[in-house]
Structure 1
Amino acid sequence: MSRILKVAAAQLGPVHLDTPRAETVVRLIRLLKSAARQGATLVVFPELAFTTFFARHLFDEPTRLEAFFEHDKDISRSSPTKALFEEAQRLGVDICVGYAEKTPEGRAFNSAIYYSAKQDRVMAKYRKVHIPGTREPLPDKAAVNHLEKRYFEPGDLGFQAFRAPGKRQNADGAGDPILGMLICNDRRWPEAWRCYGLQGVEVILCGYNTPAYNPHFWGTSKAMSPEIAKSTAIAQHKLVMQANSYMNSCFSIAAGKAGLEDGQYELIGGSCIVGPEGQILAEAATTDDEVICAEIDLDECRQGKEHIFNFAQHRRVETYRRVVDQVGVTQPDS
């Protein structure tokens, strides 16, 4: 018997600097309801889903910055975010959602949680590991800043896979789906995917906010039109989702923010659901609020895991020390 799930990526259109959190939550609930009507039992929302991508701004007033963070230890129980989780529980739909986390000790993380509707609780938390950008604003006044290093610490929870409770589809002991979470820039780092792959991951859940045009952030000196820059960013986004899904024999669900925030900061959209052979199963067609769904058979992960990417048979860990021992590039002498 197949292990079939209906899953969804809930893409979110522009969220502006002054958009009230409660207004955004209403939009998220609307997307959740749409996914549920289409039969989805698992929905992935974007990175920093409740606010704009505030890391592009420099905040001189601490209270202004703090307003973008969730300070409660359990956001599934705090106002106004709890309304999203209450609706998920009512609909019987699990959700993965990204947010800015401020711990009781004052530490700041770019985080995501997995909420189980069946158990009415947060089952897993992930904190973004690969923090891009800079700590200080760029000297070029025309540049769009990307100050994630200023506002967030690197995640300290690692890449811990987990099972989604209550989603077993057969009675032969196959078990509940094995899931893992990534956030935005993490999807570009194959080490993160492989850590999950070595735990038998079957579905990667990834929220993101990716700029359509930001040459200072990318570090490119090549002249590039905004149109070409956007198409390149979308192509690179799909590339990493497809390649890493294939190389780890897993499905992936990528949900992004999209459109023009505050009239000048464009995000790419491109939300997609990818299969274990690297094929795109569903893809967003707009740069606004949109739900995409796909029916996935988790047994399709077995072909790759048991054959071409059978890690137990084919990995040669004795040759990989450089990957974990070395940080920067060391070129050969000759």
Structure 2
Amino acid sequence: MTSPSPIRAAALQLGPASATIATTAARILDLIDAAARDKVTLAVLPELALTPYFAAAVRQDLTPFTSVPENKQAVEAIAERAAGHGMAIVIPFAEQTNEGLFNAMVFYDDKGACQGTFRKIHIPGKVAPDPDKPLNILEKRYFTPGDLPFAAFDMGAVKAGGLICYDRRFPESYRSLSLNGADLICVGYNTPVMPGGTLKGARRASELAICGGAYSTATHAIAAGKAGVEGGTRFIGGSFICGPDGAILTRAKSQGDEVVAADLDMAAQARLRERWDFATNRRPDAYAPALTA
């Protein structure tokens, strides 16, 4: 059996969004070019990569964030630029459909072919704001819960699956990706430092969730976040890549746009999976809630 080849991968961290989808997309194209110079062949962008985090306020018009033509143009340009470098890429954005607005990410392989979409399953926050809170999370006001499975998409070198922000807090998300054959976990997030919290504490909580999921499934994870202060709110950034043993391989050094790259030893991942033997000994029949009389 041929040993899996290593992969040069990156989280493409973003600072606060620019004024328009087009200008933010232009920054992303620059990041892709920088990643290519670093020999990256697979990259992951943060949650809602093309826009500000708009779900913290009551808004009458979402068009600046959800415009189908503008998002389509930006996604296609990003995928095309990545493919020109032989790079697979995961692009999260606000996906407006006839069924509703989804917090989504699309997976493009290294040839520029779209392999599929993941839509955020776990939607946090409230519908109506609490006037006594200085910061509200109103994703339930805007986003429809994801209606697609935790699938693994063929990205060329690996099969990759996605999680979006709050999804990373649920162990079931990682288990589902593992059961569906994911070799790599791609996480995008826009996580604010909540009132009363600290940047250090919020980053540690995010790292614990993602590294724990990686460890429990023996799977590399790429975590790409929004950084800096946007709309008066600080976002945690702290993008990183961790190995299948849960150890962090590399972290972002800045609060802005940055290529956070590492070599993923897929052969070592395969050996670890063989040793831990989850596939043989997993008991999905026992994971359902107990029935009560």
Aligned length: 290
How far off its partner does 1:122 sit? 1.0
**TM-score for both structures, normalised by structure 2:** 0.93
CA distance in structure 1 between the partners assigned to 2:165 and 2:177 by the alignment? 16
| Paired AA for residue 164 in structure 1 | M
The aligned residue for residue 3 of structure 1 is 5
Q: Give runs of aligned pairs for residues 287-298 of structure 1, distance below 5 A.
A: 287-298=255-266
Match among 140, 155, 158 for residue 146 of structure 2: 155
- 1:184-203 Cα offsets, whole Å, 9 max, x none, are 11111100100111233211
CA distance in structure 2 between the partners assigned to 1:136 and 1:254 by the alignment? 29
How far off its partner does 1:315 sit? 2.6
The aligned residue for residue 321 of structure 1 is 288
The aligned residue for residue 190 of structure 2 is 209
Q: Give runs of aligned pairs for residues 121-132 of structure 1, distance below 5 A.
A: 121-132=113-124
SS of residue in 2 equivalent to 1:195: helix
| Paired AA for residue 122 in structure 1 | C
The aligned residue for residue 105 of structure 2 is 112
| Paired AA for residue 156 in structure 1 | D
The aligned residue for residue 218 of structure 1 is none
CA distance in structure 1 between the partners assigned to 2:55 and 2:127 by the alignment? 10
CA distance in structure 1 between the partners assigned to 2:159 and 2:284 by the alignment? 24
Q: Give runs of aligned pairs for residues 186-265 of structure 1, distance below 5 A.
A: 186-212=167-193, 214-215=194-195, 224=196, 226=197, 229-262=198-231, 264-265=232-233
The aligned residue for residue 305 of structure 1 is 273
| Paired AA for residue 68 in structure 1 | F
- 1:150-193 Cα offsets, whole Å, 9 max, x none, are 1001100011112213x3xxxxxxxxx12111111111110010
| Paired AA for residue 200 in structure 1 | G
- Compared with structure 1, are the counterparts of its residues 86 and 280 closer, same or farther at alpha carbon in structure 2 (3 Å cutoff)? same
Instruction: Say if 1:5 and 1:297, in contact at 8 Å, map to a contact too.
Output: yes
Question: Are 1:88 and 2:79 matched, yes or no?
Answer: no
The aligned residue for residue 173 of structure 1 is none
What is the CA RMSD across the aligned residues, in angstroms? 1.9
CA distance in structure 2 between the partners assigned to 1:163 and 1:26 by the alignment? 27
Q: Give runs of aligned pairs for residues 9-88 of structure 1, distance below 5 A.
A: 9-15=11-17, 19-59=19-59, 61=60, 64-71=61-68, 78-88=72-82
Question: Are 1:97 and 2:91 matched, yes or no?
Answer: yes
**TM-score for both structures, normalised by structure 1:** 0.82
The aligned residue for residue 236 of structure 2 is 268
Instruction: Say if 2:44 and 2:186, in contact at 8 Å, map to a contact too.
Output: yes
SS of residue in 2 equivalent to 1:260: strand
Instruction: Say if 1:24 and 1:50, in contact at 8 Å, map to a contact too.
Output: yes
| Paired AA for residue 132 in structure 1 | P
**CA radius of gyration, larger in:** 1
Percent identity among equivalent residues?
38
| Paired AA for residue 82 in structure 1 | E
Instruction: Say if 2:185 and 2:220, in contact at 8 Å, map to a contact too.
Output: yes
Q: Which runs of 5+ in 1 are unaligned?
A: 168-176, 216-223, 327-334
How far off its partner does 1:30 sit? 0.8
